[in-house]
Amino acid sequence: MAETIVPVLLPVPLDQVFDYLADGPLPPGTVVEVPFGPRRLIGVVWEAPPRPEEGRRPARLRAVQRRLDAPPLPDQIRRLVDRVRLETLAPWGAVLKLVLSVPAALEPPEPRLGYRLGPAEARLTAARKKVLEVLGDSPLLPAELARRAGVGSAVVRGMAELGLLDAVPLPEPEPPAPDPARSGPALSPAQAEAAAALEAAVDRAEPAVVLLEGVPGAGKTEVYLEAVARALARGRRVLVLLPEIALSPAWLARFEARFGAPPALWHSELTGAVRRRTWRRIAEGRAPVVVGARSALFLPQSGLGLIVVDEEHDSSFKQDDGVTYHARDAALIRGEIESCPVVLASATPSIETLVRTGALGDPPQPRTGRLLLPARHGEAPLPRIELVDLRARRGAWLSPPLVQGLEAALAAGEQALLFLNRRGYAPLTLCRACGHRLGCPNCSAWLVSHRLRRRLLCHHCGYSEPQPEHCPHCGAVDSLHAAGPGVERLAEEVAGLLPEARVRLLTSDQPARPSEVAALLDDMASGAIDVLIGTQIVAKGHHFPGLTLVGVVDGDMGLAGGDLRAAERTFQLLYQVAGRAGRGARPGRVLIQTHMPDHPVMLALARGDKDAACRLERDERRLSGMPPFGRLAALIVSGPDASRVAEAARAIARAAPVVEGLTVLGPAPAPLALLRGRHRERLLVKARPEVDLPARLRAWLRPIRLPARVRLLVDVDPYSFL
């Protein structure tokens, strides 16, 4: 028999394909099981790389074990894997692993068996008669049959053994498909115009980037759902990416109202069985619309006519470890591969997107556009924002103007929201006797006191220990002091100031269960809570009609540390939080406490001038050659031994290419110099736009051999600088 050599990509963190022998040619995309060392792995037949040095190693060839009964991985997804590998420098196999995220879904599902009337005859007891009576033409699941007949499952089982019942596989229940022909909600003239522009982009079926910008409540979702309808009507599929936090019941209700059926959902809360079924359904082309968090980008969906990235500015689209992709940027690549438009929706678009689409007056890049939705008629775009200068104040976390504002809102029967982006009770615990600060044993970070749990927690690695009675350093009793505020401490202060008020906390870990969070949001919406205190989870999309006062307890928090996007992120977050106030009948008011009332971000917020803030940020980035006017890459070297890590980092720096337009900064100990027990050094590579940064990095780093237990993480276009 003629044997063929097939290249196979395996979901392991290696940057190469492996050759195997097969009985005949296997087309690329075929899912196969192959031996790999002592193991057996499931991989995908790949196109052979053009040159062996690009990742094909000859070896003693072993044979493909079997071909799995799974749909082939679409060509578009294989090309996405190739492109993401090139852009992120992640090992090829690690990118494939993002696609093969549910290995169990590669095996055909166990058929569900139902029973119908069997050929045999036997004595019929009363119970058996009942079973035969309820049995109709279509087979029933055993449990269902027993339930309808009102008999025990043993009766049904016994009848099957006797041949009175016949087991037959039941078809997989097909969920209803979204129906684009249903009529959508009435759109305002501005919405209708924007929707028409998006529909035209869908009709052109070319790669394009469209920014859909509008204040919260301007109706962006309704607009892009019309484009979804158009793509479905043309027989194309649709992918919608949302930050996990924005994938709310309210969003899904809107989708179902428009299309009469839910989309296929993809997020971290799915159970294993649902995950397996959903992945398989998508791979078999039975899910016209997929909606999910960033990892949904790597689902084996093809035939896309539209991609939507909602809240495109959200930093949760960026993955900081493993394959360091940015889902928005990868979605743009996906749009090119699928030849379809990508809609980027946001109230506060990223500087990158604003510049790309010419929204700030720069020449727009080819095949981009911007649609600006005005606030709905009669709605103020933003409530009045006032700055409270904290420089002359000491002591309490809430300034007199904010306390007065709270009292006034409560007296008027209105609700207030206090925003502090810090979980727990206090960010630092120190000993008054000896000055010792309680730190994490695995990270260079302080332990955060969580009084409700009576524990100290590391927010970086998850380490926790009980709240100690005495100082672990000097042994002094009752000497430990909580320094700085967290939301729990704020709640304590509010309870002291306003003993009558109904105060609740909402953070990413509290309440713990999604059902409790939903109940809390309902209580807030119905007015059963007076003061809601929360971290950034409260900033997104909620509609609380009775909420008129928003207090930002520490407006400067995001500005500290000063990484590249500090000002941008702070503005976006505070703008979103501010937008929660006054969404009902009564006007809203926002108080931002700050030690930096002259900071450009604060001034722009106080004036409600979003464009001015963005232009200022754009100008600064342009002057310093920062993204999008240049590119960055972070190289993070880590390992358990500090001196080995430092030596490896220096060796990498010494090998750096000397190229016009490329600068290497560092190595230097990372701000988080110890993380999860690993010492960390960072290098920052800065490149002018004309430099092909990923290609330069590849040529530089490929020959580097790292000492044992030292790892190098390459983060092209980093968002974290810790």
Contacts with Zn ion, residue ranges (CB under 5 A): 431, 433-434, 436, 440, 442-443, 458, 460-461, 463, 471, 473-474, 476
Smallest distance, Å, CB 713 to Zn ion?
Answer: 18
CB of 448 to Zn ion, least distance (A): 10
The nearest distance, CB 711 to Zn ion, in angstroms, is 18
Contact criterion met (CB below 8 Å) for 575 and 592: no
As given in the structure block, the two tokens for residue 310 are: 């909602």
Q: For the purposes of burial, counting CB atoms within 10 Å of the CB of 561, is it exposed (0-12), middle (13-18) or buried (19 or more)?
A: exposed
Q: At its nearest, how many Å lie between Zn ion and the CB of residue 437?
A: 10
In terms of CB distance, is 32 or 480 closer to Zn ion? Answer: 480
- If the CB atoms of residues 285 and 671 are measured against Zn ion, the closer one turns out to be 671
**Smallest gap, in angstroms, from Cβ of residue 464 to Zn ion?**
9
Q: Cβ 478 to Zn ion, closest distance in Å?
A: 11
Cα 395 to Cα 146, 391, 399, 448: the distances in Å are 69, 12, 9, 20
- State in angstroms the smallest separation of the CB of 395 from Zn ion: 25
Which is nearer to Zn ion, 41 or 480 (by Cβ)?
480
Strands 17-22, 56-63: pairing kind: parallel
Closest CA to 112 of 150, 168, 183: 168
Using the minimum distance from each CB to Zn ion, give the nearer residue, 474 or 668: 474
Q: Which is nearer to Zn ion, 79 or 473 (CB)?
A: 473
Query: What are the Cα distances from residue 231, in Å, to 209, 213, 222, 290, 304?
Result: 16, 21, 15, 13, 8
Pick the closer one to Zn ion by CB: 162 or 476. Answer: 476
Q: What is the CA radius of gyration of the chain?
A: 29
Q: What is the smallest separation between the CB atom of 420 and Zn ion, expressed in angstroms?
A: 22
Tokens 């911007």 sit on residue: 370
Widest CA span in the chain: 93
Question: d(Cα 254, Cα 264) in Å, to the nearest integer?
Answer: 15
Minimal distance in Å, beta carbon 472 to Zn ion? Answer: 8
Which of 426/443 has CB closer to Zn ion? Answer: 443
Q: Which is nearer to Zn ion, 716 or 722 (CB)?
A: 722
Helices and strands (DSSP H and E) totals, the chain: 19, 30
Rama region for 519: left / alpha / beta (φ>0; ψ in -120 to 50; rest): alpha
Please give the C-alpha separations between residue 153 and each of 125, 139, 143, 385, in angstroms, as whole numbers: 15, 16, 7, 66
What is the distance between the alpha carbons of residues 314 and 242, in angstroms, rounded to a whole number? 9
Residue 166: name the closest of 112, 111, 119 by CA.
Answer: 119
Contact 590, 573 (CB under 8 A): no
DSSP annotation of 647 reads H
Q: What's 38-107 look like in SS3?
A: CEEEEEEECCCCCCHHHCEEEEEEEECCEECCCCCCCHHHHHHHHHHHHHHCCCHHHHHHHHCCCHHHHC
CB of 33 to Zn ion, least distance (A): 39
Closer residue to Zn ion in complex, CB, 124/434? 434
CB of 561 to Zn ion, least distance (A): 18
- Plot region of 290 (φ>0 → left; ψ -120 to 50 → alpha; else → beta): beta
Q: How far apart are the first and last CA of the chain?
A: 57
**Least CB distance from residue 471 to Zn ion, whole Å?**
3
Q: Tell me whether residue 428 or residue 497 sits nearer to Zn ion (CB atom).
A: 428
Nearer to Zn ion among residue 128 and residue 450 (C-beta): 450
Contact 92, 55 (CB under 8 A): yes
Task: Identify which of residues 250 and 434 has a Cβ nearer to Zn ion in the complex.
Answer: 434
